[in-house]
Amino acid sequence: MATLTARPANPVDALAQDKRVARALAWLDSNADWVTDQQVAITEIPAPEFHEQERGVFLAKLFRTNGLDVHTDSVGNVIGELAGSRGEEVIVLIAHLDTVFPAGTDVRVKRLKGRLEAPGISDDGAGLASMVGVARAIDQAHLKPQASVLFVAGVGEEGEGNLRGIRALMDEYKGRVRAVIALDGAATDYVTTIGLASRRLDIQVTGPGGHSWSDFGSPNPIAALARGIVQFSTTPVPEEPRTTFNFGVMEGGNSVNSIPAEASVKVDLRSEDDAELLRLESEIRKSFASAVDQEMAAAVPGSESLKLKISVIGIRPGGKLPADSPLLAAIENADRYLGNRSRLERSSTDANLPLSLGIPAIAIGGGGQGGGSHSLEEWYDPAGRELGLKRVLLTLLGVAGVQV
Ligand SMILES: [Zn+2]
């Protein structure tokens, strides 16, 4: 006969019985629409990489009206502090202000049958709004944490921002950060515990340029890059450790009837293993050097040489949350309490930086459903977002503790 063993008690059961915690959970249950309204307002303030300021000012106001002590640091991170009783310790809840969309992109939000559409609505409108929702729930319930909580609307998460927001934050609060929870996008079905390493390169070719007719036969930087891209793209990459590359932006030339004097392409390399990244980078260098040689060999003899310059424009260090981390236990307990199922994931987010420093960090979604991230068709569906909000709150309190 099988013996029944009691399931270990979930610390969240006790936590949720605290009257103020219960009040905060109830607030989230009945104010999801308020959170969605903030998300729309946030998304409609453009925030291209390196131009996050206006959106940051709006977040600062939201933080202030919800009981946080707000300051903006030297790189533009907006930091709202909720002081705790446990000395210097801080827990960071961060979502990113920046989007991948350039200035001039139409960011007005269309509401279609409850579904919201706009560039950036999910990434990271969902994360920012959820963070604000959790701050408001805590304020409404008069909850006081043991560790101080920093609510951070961070800069520079996307693309060439190169994690400068979280880098500056980890530097400012050096030695004090006990855990980082990054809210990135929607969903409740994953927990990112592995930060993928990435390297980003800018590959530039310059040459003499010239007239399309009279200088025909001069070496062409665009053609050289095209040769390099084709050549590198045949490089095999392993499935294990998963390794990827993407040529994401190509620029060059001035007019259709001129041989360009300059062209460039940006490439993103990612891997679960740093060694693979270095291997790919050396393959890139070989492919483009040989592409430039081929283009020169095809040019009229005596042509001025093309010049190749490859610069590293971004390095994201990788890292992994240990399986016995209290932060992982906190989110697993929250999921168990809420009846939510999630899987462990690997990706490249603000969590990479603390993970690379050995600071416990995860990235999770803010709740609801989203898709089309980094495209103009990006969408968000707030149905069921309460679950995500409560999940963030309970995970946060699980690591920060509640003052009795
Ligand atoms: Zn994002």
Distance 304 CA to ligand 1 centre (A): 44
What's the gap in Å between 96 CA and the centre of ligand 1?
Answer: 7
Q: Does domain 11-195+318-400 have CATH number 1.10.150.120?
A: no
Where helices occur in 303-360 by DSSP H, the ranges are 326-338, 352-356
- Which residue spans within 39-154 are E strands per DSSP? 69-72, 78-82, 90-96, 110-112, 115-117, 148-154
What would the mean pLDDT of 148-155 be, rounded to a whole number? 98
25, two tokens: 């959970």
CB 93 within 8 A of CB 181: yes
The predicted-structure confidence for 333-346, as pLDDT tens digits, reads as follows: 999 999 999 999 99
Single-letter code of the amino acid located at 57? V
Q: Would you say 355 and 28 are in contact if contact means Cβ atoms under 8 Å apart?
A: no
Instruction: Compute the half-sphere exposure of residue 151: CA atoms within 13 Å on the CB side of its CA.
Output: 31
pLDDT recorded at residue 4:
65
- The alpha carbon of 320 and the centre of ligand 1 are apart by a number of angstroms equal to 19
Q: How many CB atoms are closer than 10 A to CB 371?
A: 15
Per-residue confidence band for 221, with pLDDT thresholds at 50, 70 and 90: very high
> Ligand 1 centroid to 142 CA: how many Å?
30
Q: How far is the CA of 123 from the centre of ligand 1 (A)?
A: 5
| Rounded-to-integer distance, Cα 364 and Cα 15, Å | 21
pLDDT 10s digits, 176-211: 999 999 999 999 999 999 999 999 999 999 999 999
What integer pLDDT is reported at residue 130 of this predicted model? 98
Q: Are 313 and 156 in contact (CB under 8 A)?
A: no
Cα 349 to middle of ligand 1, angstroms: 7
- CATH fold of the domain at 197-316: Alpha-Beta Plaits (3.30.70)
Q: For residue 89, report the distance from its CA to the centre of ligand 1, in Å.
A: 26
Distance (angstroms) between ligand 1 centre and the Cα of 318 equals 16
pLDDT score of 7: 65
Closest CA to 299 of 219, 209, 216: 219
Q: Residue 396 C-alpha to ligand 1 middle, in angstroms?
A: 20
pTM: 0.84
For residue 264, how far is its CA from the centre of ligand 1 (angstroms)? 25
Centre of ligand 1 from the C-alpha of residue 159, in Å:
10
Query: DSSP strand E in 174-256: where?
Result: 177-183, 190-195, 197-206, 210-211, 243-252
Domain segments of the chain as ranges: 11-195+318-400, 197-316
